[in-house]
Amino acid sequence: MTTTVKGRKSESPDLLNGPVAPMFMRMAMPIILGLLVNGLFNFVDAIFISRVVGTDAIGGVSAAFPIHMVMISISAMLGSGMASILSRRLGAGRDEDVSAVFSSSLMLAAVVGLLISIILLVFRFEIFTLSNLPIALLPYAVDYITPIALFGVISFSYGTLSEAFRAEGKNMQVMKLMACSALLNIVLDALFLFVFEWGVPGAAWATVCSIGFSFVYALYMLSSGTHRVKFEMKHFRLMKGIHKEAVSLGIPVFLSYTGFAMMLLTVNIALVNVAGEDAQLLISAHGILNRTFMLIFLPVLGMMIAFQTFAGFNYGAQQYQRVAEVLKVAIIFSSVYALFWSVIMIYQPQSLLQLFTRDQQLIKAAADISSIVFLCFITVGIGMICPALFQALGFAKPAAILNSLHTYILLLPVLWICSSLYGVAGIWWAFPVIDLLSAILIGFYTWKFMRQLNGEALSIVNVEYQK
């Protein structure tokens, strides 16, 4: 069964026809499962390192996390920007452009990965020294980041490959990649740490090996002949126009990744300034709560990724009503899911927090924080899905502004102000207030856009929203 789009036959009819809600969930579930498996790996990895090497090792690995996060953020920026372009090209039946976009993006990812690897390898000691990392933690941080930096090219290239699968709507393949990578990582962690006793470098090499395996596996699947996204050597070169568009569309993702890290840093500094002798306890409690949040958040992220592909395909095919339908479905599903966890994290957070620690004082402190910061968690769907709409449709500026609104424009300044005026309580109450305010602003802007998208010609929409 095929569908004709502008005189061409689409090989992805499921995205352009049929009931939206069940189709959306079929797309989202493989991504969600893959993300959860990957999240489980990160949890197990931390347990292994703490038990085999010790608490200083965990501190060193944690210190390396922001650097690794920057690498992931840049890779995600390049890959998601490319995916936005690909999904719209595929939906419009412009298969002749797809190979050029993908092949050139793969070249860009390799070049950027190589440059970042060189910078990290040359300046890794200086970077950690400038961050005021305690001397005792420095060797562990360097040992962890060195193998990851050595194979930055493969890591960045793999990110581009996996995003190409997502852009094509082949989320089962993405789930297979993520699951295989995570499970292999756990196995190699156990082997390198418990059997070979390689310590922190062993954990890093386990990560590198799992990414390398996933990269090779992704290349194998891409060469199977069943993909509309194909690699062509003639397009394996830098193309300024494609790269400029991909980077501009990927900036919102970069802002989302780095925004979370900036929030953690700001909260920690604010607690040190206003919490006195309770600062260490509250920082640890907030850290435990954020580990919990990251697990809870993964299904929303999976829905957002599926939504982007669905919306991009249908927008490229000029099926604007289906874009509106999947937007509504994604917001409803993510909000219902968020409501479920809001109730748990407000009234009974201990049930989840105790998975991470047995320290009752720490659990109580984290539970007290949770009862406040999760008050408006129900708005997370609007805050994630609506900015993703503009990225999927190719409107880079609104996407970047809306992604920046919550954390950079509102939350970070309010955290500083409220901590100065109201102390520790001001820090925690800033989260639900900003969650609600940003959701109202983002939701209203998106509602206006969708009214215009469904009521006017494409050319008019482009003129107004790409100015």
Which region holds residue 8: left if phi is over 0, alpha if psi is between -120 and 50, else beta? beta
For residues 286 and 434, the model is more confident at 434
Average pLDDT, the chain: 83
pLDDT confidence band for 163 (50 / 70 / 90): confident
pLDDT confidence band for 461 (50 / 70 / 90): very low
User: pLDDT at residue 13 above 60?
Assistant: no
Q: pTM of this prediction?
A: 0.75
For residues 396 and 206, the model is more confident at 206
Query: What pLDDT score does 262 carry?
Result: 81
Query: What pLDDT score does 58 carry?
Result: 64
CB atoms within 10 A of CB 241: 8
For residues 58 and 272, the model is more confident at 272
Cβ 37 vs Cβ 183: under 8 Å: yes
Provide the CB-side half-sphere exposure for 262 (13 A, CA): 18
pLDDT digits 0-9 by tens, 131-161: 656 677 788 888 988 999 999 899 899 888 8
pLDDT digits 0-9 by tens, 389-419: 998 888 888 988 998 899 999 999 999 999 9
Distance CA(338)–CA(335), nearest Å, equals 5
Query: What pLDDT score does 131 carry?
Result: 61
Query: What pLDDT score does 253 carry?
Result: 80
pLDDT digits 0-9 by tens, 105-131: 999 999 999 999 999 999 888 877 776
Query: What pLDDT score does 459 carry?
Result: 47
Phi, psi of 4 (to 5 degrees): -90, 130
Identity (one letter) of the amino acid at 228? R
pLDDT confidence band for 255 (50 / 70 / 90): confident
For residues 57 and 464, the model is more confident at 57
For residues 227 and 162, the model is more confident at 162
* The token pair that represents 237 in the structure block: 């070169």
Highest average pLDDT, of 117-131, 143-157, 353-367, 371-385, comes from 371-385
- For the chain, percent of residues with pLDDT exceeding 90: 30
User: pLDDT at residue 423 above 50?
Assistant: yes
Provide CB contacts within 8 A for 93, sequence distance 6+: 5, 6, 7, 8, 9, 10, 317
Query: What pLDDT score does 331 carry?
Result: 96
User: pLDDT at residue 168 above 90?
Assistant: no
Dump the DSSP string for 107-146.
HHHHHHHHHHHHHHHHHHHHHHHHTT--TTTHHHHHHHHH
Query: What pLDDT score does 458 carry?
Result: 44
pLDDT confidence band for 32 (50 / 70 / 90): confident
CB atoms within 10 A of CB 369: 22
- For the chain, percent of residues with pLDDT exceeding 70: 89
User: pLDDT at residue 266 above 80?
Assistant: yes
Highest average pLDDT, of 42-56, 168-182, 242-256, comes from 242-256
Query: What pLDDT score does 9 carry?
Result: 41
pLDDT confidence band for 14 (50 / 70 / 90): low
For residues 192 and 11, the model is more confident at 192
User: pLDDT at residue 7 above 70?
Assistant: no
Highest average pLDDT, of 112-126, 161-175, 345-359, comes from 112-126
Distance CA(92)–CA(108), nearest Å, equals 24
Query: What pLDDT score does 467 carry?
Result: 44
Query: What pLDDT score does 112 carry?
Result: 93
Distance CA(215)–CA(197), nearest Å, equals 26
pLDDT digits 0-9 by tens, 217-240: 888 887 766 777 778 788 788 888
CA distances (Å), 85 to each of 149, 216, 347, in order? 28, 24, 43
